Amino acid sequence: MKESIERIFAELASLKAATQKDVEEARVRLLGKKGEITALMEQFRCIAPELKREYGQKLNELKKAATAKIEELKEAAEAAAEASEPKEDLSMPGDAFPLGSRHPVSIVRAQIVDIFRKFGYDVAEGPEIEDDYHVFEALNFPPNHPAREMQDTFFVSTGHLNPLLLRTHTSSVQVRTMESQSLPIRVVCPGRVFRNEAISARAHCIFHQVEGLYIDKDVTFADLKQAILLFAREMFGADTQIRMRPSYFPFTEPSAEVDVSCNICKGKGCNICKGTGWLEIMGCGMVDPNVLKASGIDPEKYSGFAFGMGVERIAMLKWQVNDLRHYFENDMRFLQEFATATEV
């Protein structure tokens, strides 16, 4: 037994194992269930009692030394294995984080506002929950006008003279601007509007408008026409033509509907313009004297024009989208088509 212990001690001193597999083999050979040191432990049980102390000590030392040696070799083999693993390839392309982009309605709203900013207009905003006075009364809507009815308007509170409602158009911001700002006034008012409509390819119960208002001395219909023409050319291209058709709005007199020449067929007639060569983009007119009076402006001294357009409608025409609902469903495949469409 003595020789065996000494032999194993000597062997431990020169034990080498290059790989993790070699280390494991050495461990099994020495310390495993059928290993050499385990076998010596077995033999130790049959040894003469007077020798037990000496051999017991030696055997424990041997086991400790073997365990420490195996541990040391294992660490070295692991480090070597790690060092020989292929290094990270720093020339590999990185993982791209998908970036969000602006919603097409936001892009077009910003384009409309930026065009009018260049013309010297300020931006004004007003509340989405409005009262009857600012949405209808001050805009010269007769008391029984159908737009006031439940089938058009979402009411928040009813039953009193000036009920609260979700604004059905951004024209209410005209009134608030006339009440609070000094003359002359030149503003565009972007915002959300709400109507009790069945959702379809052409209508939604929530959509966006940009309203415009210009009030000064001697403002004429010619100024209105020029402003709209310049806007249309900035928005749809330098060769765009406009035409105005007589229309009616309670808050403007005279009133008109504005069409732009179809930028797809260039006026020849296609399925987007339904063969007419023209696309309707907004309503407009000269601010009715009653509207000026309601907000304390003297119609003898001042005149003005106003216009209002649907942002989704402009976006549909600009990008030839034929179903309004695409703008509200937020299907990523649709939205991603506008990821680079940020130019004005």
**DSSP output for 197-232:** ----SS--SEEEEEEEEEEETT--HHHHHHHHHHHH
Half-sphere exposure of 244 (CA within 13 A, CB side): 19
Q: Which residues contact 188 (CB under 8 A, 6 or more apart)?
A: 112, 113, 116, 117, 121, 122, 123, 124, 210, 211, 212
Smallest gap from Cβ 337 to ligand DAH, in A, equals 28
Of 30 and 139, which has the nearer Cβ to ligand DAH?
A: 139
Return the sign of the alpha-carbon dihedral for residues 126, 130, 135, 138: negative
Of 8 and 309, which has the nearer Cβ to ligand DAH?
A: 309
Smallest gap from Cβ 169 to ligand DAH, in A, equals 3
Smallest gap from Cβ 91 to ligand DAH, in A, equals 58
- What's the CA gap between 148 and 139, in Å, rounded? 12
Of 171 and 177, which has the nearer Cβ to ligand DAH?
A: 171
Binding site for ligand DAH (CB under 6 A): 169, 171, 211, 249, 252, 283-285, 306-308
**DSSP output for 99-146:** PP---HHHHHHHHHHHHHHHTT-EE----SEEEHHHHTGGGT--TT-G
Of 40 and 227, which has the nearer Cβ to ligand DAH?
A: 227
Task: For residue 62, give the nearest of 41, 45, 79 by alpha carbon.
Answer: 41
Half-sphere exposure of 299 (CA within 13 A, CB side): 13
Of 111 and 252, which has the nearer Cβ to ligand DAH?
A: 252
- Give me the phi and psi of 186, to 5 degrees please: -145, 95
Cβ atoms of 63 and 37 within 8 Å: the answer is: yes
Of 70 and 210, which has the nearer Cβ to ligand DAH?
A: 210
- What's the CA gap between 3 and 159, in Å, rounded? 110
Of 134 and 169, which has the nearer Cβ to ligand DAH?
A: 169
Neighbouring CB atoms inside 10 A of 219's CB total 19
Smallest gap from Cβ 139 to ligand DAH, in A, equals 8
Residue with token string 């915002």: 191
Of 104 and 285, which has the nearer Cβ to ligand DAH?
A: 285
